C-alpha cells in the first residue's frame, strides 16, 4: 500500500505550492483599490471570504473523512479555477457588477480553502507508513516549507513585475517594440498568471490517490457519518486541553498578522517603498521559510508547545509595535519578525494537531483549525473596517494612507489583549487540570 501511495507526498507538496502561488499577492492591497473598490469594500470582501470558510470548513473536513480526501482536494481545485475566472473577467467599468463578481470570487475562494484545508494534509499524512509517521511528518513539512518559500520568491517577484507598466515598457524597448502600457492595462496580469496555476493545481489534485476511508458506513449515509464526525470532532477539540490552547494561541497570532499582511502593500507605500520593489520584498519574505523550516523542526523536537508558541507571540508583538512608527524605508524591518513568526506558527500547528488527532477524524479536527483561524480573521476584518470608518469620520478629508497610518497603532494593542486573554485561560486551565488530578488522587 505504501508504494502505491508514496507519490501522494510530492503531489501534496506540488498542490500546496500551486494552490498558494497567487501572483497578485505582492499587490493585493492596492489591486482591489486600483480596480475601483474602497478600503471598506476590500475589508468586507475579505470578511465574505472568511465567512465562506467558516461555514464550509468543518462540513467539508468531516465529509472528506467519509467520502475520501482526494475528492475534496479535487473540488477545491475546481473552485480555485472558477474564482480566478471571475477575478480575471470582472468588469472594472461597472462598479456594482464588479463588486458583485468579486464578492462571488471571494466566496468561491473561501470554498476552495475550506475543501482543501485538512483534506490535503490528512491525505498526505495517512500516505506515510504507519510506523514512524509522527517522526516522518516534520520532515515532510520542512520540504513543503522550502518548496513554498522558493515558489513564493518567484511568484512575488514575477507578480510585482507583471503589475508594473514601467517594467513592461522597458522590456518592450529592449526587444525593439514601442508598446507603452498604462497601469490600468496591467492590473490583471498577475490574476491571469494565477489562473494558469489554478489549472495546474487541478492536475496535481487529479493525480493523487486515496489512502483509504477509515470508517465503514454500515448502512449509514455519507451525510449521517459526516454529521457524526462533526460531533465527535467538536468533542475532541473542546475537551482536549492541548488542542484548545494551540488553536487559541494560533488564532490570536494569525488573525492580527494576516490582517496586517492583507494591507502590506499599503504599508510599503506608507514607508515610501517604490512599487517596483513590492514583489522583491514579498519574495524576500517568502525566503524566510528556508530559515524557519529547519528551526521549527528542531524546536518541536526539543521544546514544549507552550514555549514554542510563546516565541511566536514575542516575534509578533515586536513586529506590530515597530510598524506603528512607519519609518520611511527603515520601517521595512518589521516584516522580518512577522514573517518568521507566521512560518513557525504554521509548522507548529500542523505538527501538533496531526500528532494529537485520531486518524479516523484527522481531516475533521484539522478543519476546526481553519474555522478558528478564519473566524478570528473575519472578525478582525469587520473590526478593522469599523475602525477605518471611525477614523475617517473623525478626520474629514483625510486620505486613505492617512487613515491607514492611524489604524496601525491599534494592531499591537489588539494583539496584546488577545495574548493576555489566552495566557490567562492557559493558566486557569492548567490549575483546573491540577485540581482535578489532585481530586482523583
Q: For position 356, which CATH number holds?
A: 1.20.1250.20
* Exposure class string for 312-336: b at 16+ Cβ within 10 A, else e: bbebbbbbbbbbbebeeeebbebbb
Cβ neighbours for 152, distance < 8 A, ≥ 6 positions apart: 20, 21, 282, 283, 285, 286, 287, 289
Mean of pLDDT over the chain? 83
pLDDT, tens only, 331-383: 899 999 999 999 999 999 988 988 888 877 787 888 888 778 877 887 888 88
In a domain, 215, yes or no: yes
Q: Which pLDDT value is given to residue 200?
A: 96
Look at residue 3 and tell me if it is in a domain.
Answer: no
pLDDT score for 185: 60
Phi, psi for residue 37 in degrees, rounded to 5: -85, 160
Block residue for cell numbers 482591489: 32
Domain contains 185: yes
Between 57 and 313, the more confident residue is 313
Grid coordinates representing 439? 481530586
Question: pLDDT (tens digit, 9 = 90+) per residue, 150-205?
Answer: 888 888 788 878 877 677 777 777 776 666 555 556 678 888 999 999 999 999 99
Q: What nine digits make up the cell of 42? A: 476590500
Top pLDDT among 52 and 85 is at 85
**Average pLDDT estimate for 245-262:** 90
- Tell whether 6 is covered by a domain: no
Residue 352 lies in a domain: yes
Distance CA 178, CA 73 (A): 45
pLDDT score of 436 more than 70: no
H-only helix segments in 334-361:
335-356
CA distance 32 to 329: 24
pLDDT digits (tens, 9 = 90+) for 282-331: 777 777 888 888 899 899 988 998 899 999 999 999 999 999 998 888 88
DSSP-based helix, strand, coil % in the chain, nearest 5? 85, 0, 15
Q: Compute the distance between CA of residue 107 and CA of residue 52 in angstroms, rounded to an integer.
A: 6
Q: Which of 151, 28, 162, 10 is nearest to 87 (CA)?
A: 28
Residue 178 has φ and ψ, to the nearest 5°, of -120, 25
Nearest-Å Rg of the Cα atoms of the chain is: 22
- Phi/psi of residue 304, each to 5°? -75, 160
The C-alpha atoms of residue 133 and residue 2 are separated, in whole angstroms, by 12
Question: Residue 324 in 3-state DSSP?
Answer: coil
126 half-sphere exposure, CB direction, 13 A CA radius: 25
Question: Considering the domain boundaries, does residue 405 fall inside one?
Answer: yes
Count helices and strands (H / E) in the chain: 21, 0
pLDDT tens digits for range 6-24: 889 999 999 999 999 888 8
Between the alpha carbon of residue 377 and those of residues 334, 342, 395, the distances in Å are: 20, 14, 26
Provide the Cα torsion 379, 385, 386, 392; round to 10°: 160
252 near 132, Cβ under 8 Å?
A: no
Q: What is the dihedral of CA 188, 193, 199, 202, to 10 degrees?
A: -100
Q: Are 173 and 37 in contact (CB under 8 A)?
A: no
Burial of 265: CB neighbours in 10 Å, binned 0-12, 13-18, 19+: buried
Give the structural domain span for 87: 12-440
Give the model's confidence band at 219: pLDDT under 50 very low, under 70 low, under 90 confident, else very high: very low
- Rounded to whole angstroms, how far apart are CA atoms 278 and 65? 40
Residue 425 has pLDDT above 90, yes or no: no
Look at the chain and report how many structural domains it folds into.
1
The answer as to whether 5 is a domain residue is no
CB-CB neighbours of 203 under 10 Å? 13
User: What phi and psi values does residue 165 have, to the nearest 5 degrees?
Assistant: -65, -30
Instruction: Retrieve residue 246's grid coordinates.
Output: 494551540
Q: Is residue 84 part of a domain?
A: yes
Residue 82 backbone phi and psi in degrees, to 5: -65, -45
The residue written with cell numbers 471571494 in the block is 106
The whole-number average pLDDT for the span 395-407 is 82
Cβ–Cβ < 8 Å for 278, 160? yes
Is-above-0.85 flag for pTM?
Answer: no
The CA distance from 15 to 419, in Å, is: 33
Amino acid at each position: 500500500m505504501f508504494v502505491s501511495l508514496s507519490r501522494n507526498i510530492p503531489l501534496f507538496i506540488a498542490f500546496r505550492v500551486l494552490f498558494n502561488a497567487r501572483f497578485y499577492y505582492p499587490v493585493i492591497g492596492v489591486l482591489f483599490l486600483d480596480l475601483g473598490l474602497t478600503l471598506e469594500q476590500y475589508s468586507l470582501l475579505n470578511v465574505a471570504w472568511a465567512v465562506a470558510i467558516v461555514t464550509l470548513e468543518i462540513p467539508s473536513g468531516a465529509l472528506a473523512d467519509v467520502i475520501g480526501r482526494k475528492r475534496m482536494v479535487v473540488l477545491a481545485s475546481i473552485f480555485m479555477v472558477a474564482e480566478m475566472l471571475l477575478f480575471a473577467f470582472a468588469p472594472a467599468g461597472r462598479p456594482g457588477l464588479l463588486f458583485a463578481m468579486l464578492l462571488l470570487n471571494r466566496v468561491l475562494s473561501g470554498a476552495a480553502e475550506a475543501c482543501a484545508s485538512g483534506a490535503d494534509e490528512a491525505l498526505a499524512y495517512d500516505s506515510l507508513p504507519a510506523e514512524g509517521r509522527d517522526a516522518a511528518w516534520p520532515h515532510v513539512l520542512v520540504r513543503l516549507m522550502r518548496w513554498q518559500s522558493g515558489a513564493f520568491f518567484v511568484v512575488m517577484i514575477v507578480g510585482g513585475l507583471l503589475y508594473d507598466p514601467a517594467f513592461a515598457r522597458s522590456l518592450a524597448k529592449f526587444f525593439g517594440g514601442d508598446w507603452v502600457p498604462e497601469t490600468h492595462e496591467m492590473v490583471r496580469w498577475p490574476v491571469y498568471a494565477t489562473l494558469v496555476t489554478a489549472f495546474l493545481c487541478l492536475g496535481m489534485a487529479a493525480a493523487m490517490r486515496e489512502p483509504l476511508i477509515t470508517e465503514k458506513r454500515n448502512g449509514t449515509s455519507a451525510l449521517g457519518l459526516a454529521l457524526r464526525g462533526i460531533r465527535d470532532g467538536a468533542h475532541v477539540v473542546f475537551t482536549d486541553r492541548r488542542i484548545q490552547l494551540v488553536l487559541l494561541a494560533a488564532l490570536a497570532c494569525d488573525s492580527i498578522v494576516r490582517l496586517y499582511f492583507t494591507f502590506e502593500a499599503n504599508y510599503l507605500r506608507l514607508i515610501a517603498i517604490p512599487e517596483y520593489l513590492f514583489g522583491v520584498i514579498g519574495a524576500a519574505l517568502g525566503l524566510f521559510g528556508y530559515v524557519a523550516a529547519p528551526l521549527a523542526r528542531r524546536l518541536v523536537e526539543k521544546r514544549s508547545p507552550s514555549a514554542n508558541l510563546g516565541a511566536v507571540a514575542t516575534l509578533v508583538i515586536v513586529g506590530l509595535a515597530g510598524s506603528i512608527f512607519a519609518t520611511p524605508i527603515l520601517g521595512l524591518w518589521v516584516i522580518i519578525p512577522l514573517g518568521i513568526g507566521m512560518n513557525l506558527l504554521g509548522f507548529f500547528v500542523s505538527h501538533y494537531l496531526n500528532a494529537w488527532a485520531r486518524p479516523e477524524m484527522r481531516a475533521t479536527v484539522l478543519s476546526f483549525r481553519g474555522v478558528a483561524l478564519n473566524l478570528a480573521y473575519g472578525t478582525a476584518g469587520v473590526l478593522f473596517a469599523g475602525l477605518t470608518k471611525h477614523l475617517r469620520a473623525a478626520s474629514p478629508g483625510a486620505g486613505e494612507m492617512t487613515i491607514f497610518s492611524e489604524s496601525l497603532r491599534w494592531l499591537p494593542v489588539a494583539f496584546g489583549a488577545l495574548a493576555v486573554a489566552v495566557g490567562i485561560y492557559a493558566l486557569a486551565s492548567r490549575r483546573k487540570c491540577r485540581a482535578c488530578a489532585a481530586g482523583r488522587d
